[in-house]
Amino acid sequence: MSILLRGAPVAQKILSEVASYARQHVLRLDIILVGRHEASEIYVAHKLRQAEKVGIRAVLHHLPERTTTHEVVDLIHHLNQTPEVTGMIVQLPLPGHISEERVLDAILPEKDADALHPQNLGLLAQGRARWAPATPWGIIELLLHYELPPEGKHVVIVGRGRLVGTPLALLLSRPLPYGNATVTLCHTRTHGLLNYTRQADILVVAVGRPHWFPAEGIKPGAIVIDVGIHREEGRLIGDIKPEALTQAYAYTPVPGGVGPLTVACLLDNLCRLHRAQSENQ
């Protein structure tokens, strides 16, 4: 029988620590959402609820689809200069006419709760980050909680996006207690992709395609992390085909695996931002 790597117990532990910190400090998270995107609206609603539950004030700025890049950047500059704002995120994806690069670059690094500003990603690459993108950090918290340390393991990540694949590769390869893995970063255009994934001690799939990854791509006994989440016919499914998980030593279910950790680690990032800001005052 494979071991289920459920995210809820890990998330609850993190959220308990966040709530304890929030009882002693005033924290505010601002979320910018542009347009009508069903999945994004669901994610944002969950973030708002969890923030309120742990005592963090959460403010949503829901802008219309026609909003321009300049208008989003202007709002970010305003929030940068608002002392009450501890940190902010811009919910991705943005509508196609908005420059994601310009928007993310506009956030002050010390208020960047998603850790996607170039300065924060640079510190991450050097092993000096004080906070990290929420989903990759959640995956590390999950592995350590279940006593599955990445050190010395061959980790294959399928997906090179800025939200998961690239920062996770940086985190796992650093000479730090949660790192020291050998990391292969693949993507949908990797030739002979399954030849790489079949070598993985730990396989992470984050391609954003429902039930896309096949059983023949998994080495028997591997630890499998499914980052995907999609709604089909009223149910949530991941990137990996269900039959592929039967040969895993341990795997994350969808729903209930990585998902709960993303929000918990985002709110934990807000505490880290507050500590850093307090030290710099």
Residue type, 231: R
Neighbour count for residue 223 (Cβ, 10 Å): 25
Question: How do the residues of the chain divide into helix, strand and coil, expressed in percent and rounded to 5?
Answer: 40, 15, 40
Q: Is 267 helix (H, G, I), strand (E, B) or coil?
A: helix
Q: How many CA atoms lie within 13 A of 160 on its CB side?
A: 8
47 is catalytic: yes
Q: Which of 50, 91, 239, 268 is catalytic?
A: 91
The DSSP call for residue 249 is S
Q: Which of 30, 47, 112, 219 is catalytic?
A: 47
91 is catalytic: yes
Concatenate the DSSP letters of all residues of 34-101 into one string: ES--HHHHHHHHHHHHHHHHTT-EEEEEEE-TT--HHHHHHHHHHHHT-TT--EEEEPSSPPTTS-HH
Q: Which of 114, 226, 239, 268 is catalytic?
A: 114
201 is catalytic: no
Distances, alpha carbon 120 to alpha carbons 139, 168, 239, 273, in Å? 19, 14, 28, 12
The DSSP call for residue 230 is E
Q: Is 31 helix (H, G, I), strand (E, B) or coil?
A: strand
Which residues are catalytically annotated? Answer: 47, 91, 114
